[in-house]
Structure 1
Amino acid sequence: MTQKQLEDYLWGAANILRGMIDAADFKQYIFPLLFFKRVSDLYDEEFQLALEESDGDLDYASFAENHRFQIPKGCHWEDVRKKTVNVGEALVKAFNGIEKANFELLHDVFGDAQWTNKRRMSDEKLLDLIEHFSKMNLSIANVPHDIMGEGYEYLIKKFADDSGHTAAEFYTNRTVVKLMTQITDPKSNESIYDPTCGSGGILLSAALHLKEQGKEYRTLKLYGQELNLITSAIARINMFMHNVDEFLIVQGDTLDSPQILENDELKKFDVIMANPPYSVKKWSQSKWMNDPFGRNIWGTPPQGCADYAFQQHIMKSLKPETGRCVVLWPHGVLFRDIEADIRKRMIEEDYVDAVIGLGKNLFYNSSMESCLLVCRMKKPKERKGKIIFIDAKEELRIERTNAWLEPQHIKTISDAYWKFKDADGFAKVANNKEVLDNNGNLSIQLYVKQAANTIEYNTEELIAAVKTGQKQINSSMENLFTQLKNIGIEA
């Protein structure tokens, strides 16, 4: 099965639901059904292989050891397909049976959609969906893991496009994720964590990064926490679809109740990459003041903006020797006065490694400009006491409201980060004292000065554009006055 065939097939399922439910809700029905079909076809494939190995021994073919996931009697795709009434009820029974039989791996993986609400999802519509998915065999032989994983990511992206403002809750621009991964450069055997993991794309990028380099990626240990139940289920399915087994994704509020612990303390990680929800207003600020995990290392952020609560959580979760992180933020985290004391403490302790300004429209479904805040727990000797500022807002491709980084943009930005040298109008290495003298303000324009000739050129271009615009306005006004006069109105 080709990538294009799979993508068309998957998107065809979403089109069946159009007009029935809101586009933002497609994912809670399509993803569980897709996973159910994949698991069932995988079980059949494994069963057939075991039959061939054992010369037709049915008992042997049913042994749990021969299957990645267990499917109890009556819970297979074909069992549900036989139903013509109360289809939602049959699906829930199958989902519950599979989750219980594979509790450690699959508990809550099918989410909590209203399958039995016939006003929302009729038997006829469910039968249409089931028959659509039944047309394709999703075994590994027919759809290998890499094609399946890419198809799943395609569907996540399409749902994000359809979901309006809610897309940011589960999708981060994958070209920005690629850049984040180039900067943290995960290694085999390392632990990777995303405290607000959405659909899991940032975590998977670490595995794909190593895979592209021909290095061992299966020894990576991936960890994530996600507030939304449906989204956390999507993230776990995403891992399975990419054939990644070494992961732990939990559901819950990271600030209020972090769940990835070790010896009753926050677990420490080599690499953290994240795109937290920005400017969260409803969070437990009072609880943070006496945080049982000691995450208020530099102070308590304002109630109206939890950005530095997430940032401190991330810093507290890094290993002291190897820990490094990159976080996608709006520019406000760099300069807001109300957080200046927290920022200064972070700079004084020499954790801030780089600030990279990105162009507009890279936050999903938002025109806002974004930035990457890069930190290291222990900098290499040549980077100690210094921060590199990179103004990469022009390094992007933009079409209408969509923007992304091309491979050459990613290379230009990551090369500048790793070279750690001044580049006229693009990058500047500043020492911590200079930044602290600016009251801890990390705004890129304070340090990266635009080249003089560029400013002159832009000014001349702007003046020319203004003159052209003025001529057009004058011409339009003259035309308007003439038409008014012709109908007897004196302007």
Structure 2
Amino acid sequence: MSEPNLSSFIWSVADLLRGDYKQSEYGKVILPFTVLRRLDCVLEATKPAVLAEKVAREKAKLNPEPFLLKKSGQHFFNTSPLDLKKLMGDQHNIGENLRAYVQGFSASVRDIFERFEFHAQIDRLSKAGLLYLVTEKFANIDLHPNVVDNAKMGSVFEELIRKFAELSNETAGEHFTPREVIRLMVNLLFIEDDDALVKPGIVRHLYDPTAGTGGMLSVAGEHLAAMNPKARLVMYGQELNPESYAICKADMLIKGQDVANIIFGNTLSADGHHGKHFDYMLSNPPFGVEWKKIEKEVRKEAEQQGFNGRFGPGLPRVSDGSLLFLLHLVSKMRPEKDGGSRFGIVLNGSPLFTGGAGSGESEIRRYMLENDLVEAIIGLPTDMFYNTGISTYVWIVSNRKPAQRKGKVQLIDASSFFQKMRKSLGSKRKELSPEHIEDITRIFGAFKKLTRAGVPISRIFKNEDFGYRTITVERPERDDKGRQVLGTKGKGKGKPVADANLRDTENVPLSEDVETYLQREVVPHAPDAWIDHEKTKVGYEIPFNRHFYVFKPPRPLAEIDAELKGVTDRIVTMIGGLSK
């Protein structure tokens, strides 16, 4: 069954729910039933063997669990003699039997249905007289991976979540990232390690602290499997939304991953993988979301642990927690001596430039650049995400840069790399084609300055190019006769007293001496000015758009005049017509 047809078929269950459920509540029924049918199909072939094994091992007074896992061929099993099709044979006891069936799953699967609060929906559907009808709908679709592969199933879940989020006015894009954006990020993440990743038996660890439904983990797994079928990617994640977490966990189970590595909870306030480090990481944290609810825990960690914790470099303003996720990922990097790490994170424009010298944001950028962690930043087109049309940027971060990248940052403006979608999905109106992804990947891999048709696409900078000093320029206070007022106490005795009303600040590039700057830019206009070096602060910002700005000269004046004359003549003619 094709992806759109499957999505529509599952969506048709909404027709049954209409009236008894609000539109915004459809997902509470449809998502867990879709997961249940998926697991049901996966276990169908081995179910008889599992039940027989259970009887044999219990008779021998042995713990049957490890044997049942082996017989099921999965990381989960079900010991109930029932399945969804058998439930159809007893309409009057459907509620009781469905509960018993769900309870027959191994603990990791039961947790999934607890996150969905599935038992509450069984009660509600039963009271509305809908339980049998809804169960029957799902019993009649085949969701086995041989029919609907993992990639298709992931897309179906994401499409359903997007629809439900739209109906309930939630932020759909918080739950997942467009697949083509993930593919680009995965390409950029693995490109420099292609040789290592094709070795037989290679094992790598991948982490997503904002896992959503597991899309990033899945696409990375598919990519590595295509490169090297004998490679093994061990996946880790954490997710705050209970429904997204449940879907991610179910997806990982079917893929044969250890679901103990998928943690429920808030990554920033309760790190579910404390002390662990990873080879690769991917993340699309929510854009511009405040962190006031977890401020107490975050500040406590920053103050008490400093650089031994995650937030030593600084804290951003409470209105946008994006950079907290960046610092969290940095803390999860393997030390360079152990092989190092690379990660990709999608951020909005704010982390590039918000905050002056000395601010939390600037200090975080300073830490990233002075420690040579930023490999590249790629500007994506607008209208790429489901919940926002704003500009977004992929940061590629590494503590094991190749020799040619050391001390440098590559900026790529890929804002013109898109094709318009035939049908918009929320705010998403544009998408990257496979050719766009390949082109951007090549540009990144080449690591060269690139201009096309006079428009810069790729630029290479030194880390320090983004740094500056904010200097405080003072001028003397003067008395009624215009004479400089001198200090009478302490270290200021005999020196000019600064006039606060004449005080100014200037940003000077790190590459330039501040005194030289003062003599060239300030002294010709204010010969009595000096720098108060005690107030100097170092700042960093990445003015991405400025580096790709192309000046377009205004049209010739004669052309504008001719156009205006044409418009004026038409107006005169129209007025003349009205007066007849």
Which TM bucket (shorter chain)? Answer: 0.7 to 0.9
Contact kept, 8 Å, 1:50 with 1:60, in 2: the verdict is no
Counterpart in 2 of 1:318? 333
The CA distance in 2 between the partners of 1:467 and 1:408, in whole Å, is 43
Unaligned 5+ runs, structure 1: 487-491
- For residues 336-363 of structure 1, give each alpha carbon's deviation from its aligned partner in whole angstroms, at most 9, with x where no partner exists: 0141122112111111111111111112
1:130 pairs, out of 112, 132, 135, with 135
Name the CA distance, whole Å, in 2 between partners of 1:441 and 1:378. 23
| Correspondence for 2:216 among 191, 202, 206 | 202
Which residue of 2 is the match for residue 328 of structure 1? 346
1:405-420 to 2 correspondences below 5 Å: 405-420=432-447
**What is the correspondence of 1:140-151 to structure 2 with a 5 Å cutoff?**
143=147, 146=149, 149-151=151-153
CA distance in 2, matches of 1:25, 1:467: 61
Aligned with residue 156 of structure 2, among 154, 157, 166: 154
- Closer, same or farther: CA 137–342 of 1 in aligned 2, 3 Å: closer
Query: In structure 2, do the counterparts of structure 1 residues 347 and 414 end up closer, same or farther at CA, with 3 Å as the change threshold?
Result: same
Deviation readout 1:144-174 (Å, 9 max, x if unpaired): 6x2x541342342243145234211211111
Separation in structure 2 between the aligned mates of residue 313 and residue 166 of structure 1, nearest angstrom: 23
- 1:35 CA drift (Å): 2.4
Once the two structures are TM-superposed, the CA of residue 135 in structure 1 deviates from its matched residue by: 1.8
Question: What TM-score comes out, normalization by structure 1 length?
Answer: 0.82
Amino acid in the other structure paired with 1:383: R
Q: Distance in 2 between matches of 1:334 and 1:382?
A: 24
Higher mean alpha-carbon deviation, 468-477 vs 8-17, is at 468-477
Equivalent residue, structure 1, for 2:289: 280
- The residue that corresponds to 1:489 in the other structure is none
1:360-381 alpha-carbon deviations (Å, 9 max, x no partner): 1112221111111111112111
Distance 1:7 1:85 in 2: 29
Partners of 1:240 and 1:472 lie apart in 2 by: 68
- Pair 48,330 (structure 1): closer, same or farther in 2 beyond 3 Å: same
Written as runs of structure 1 = structure 2, the 5 A alignment for 1:28-427 is 28-47=28-47, 64=68, 65-67=70-72, 68=74, 69-73=76-80, 76-78=83-85, 80-82=87-89, 84=91, 90-95=97-102, 97-98=103-104, 101-104=105-108, 106-109=110-113, 111-113=116-118, 114-116=120-122, 118=124, 123-139=128-144, 143=147, 146=149, 149-164=151-166, 165-185=170-190, 187=197, 188-217=202-231, 219-241=232-254, 243-247=255-259, 248-261=261-274, 266-281=275-290, 282=292, 283-284=294-295, 285-290=298-303, 294-321=309-336, 322-337=340-355, 338=359, 339-399=361-421, 401=427, 402-424=429-451, 425-427=456-458
For residues 470 and 47 of structure 1, do their structure 2 counterparts lie closer, same or farther at Cα, with a shift above 3 Å needed?
A: farther
Q: How many angstroms apart in 2 are the aligned matches of 1:4 and 1:39?
A: 21
Root-mean-square deviation (CA, aligned residues, Å) is 3.7
The alpha carbon displacement at 1:133 in A equals: 1.4
Which letter does structure 2 place at the counterpart of 1:134? A
For normalisation by structure 2, the TM-score amounts to 0.70
CA shift, 1:50, in A, is 8.2
CA contact (8 A) 2:353 2:542 kept: yes
1:231 aligned partner, one-letter code: S
Contact 2:122 2:131 survives alignment (8 Å): no
Q: 1:342 to 1:418 in 2, by over 3 A?
A: same
Tell me whether 1:441 sits opposite 2:541 in the alignment: yes
Which entry has the higher C-alpha Rg, 1 or 2?
2
Contact 2:20–2:128 under 8 Å retained in 1: no
Aligned to 1:301, what secondary structure does the other structure show?
coil
Deviation at 1:122, TM superposition (A): 5.1
Give the conservation status (yes or no) of the 8 Å contact 2:289–2:321: yes
Question: What SS does the corresponding residue of 2:225 show, helix, strand or coil?
Answer: helix
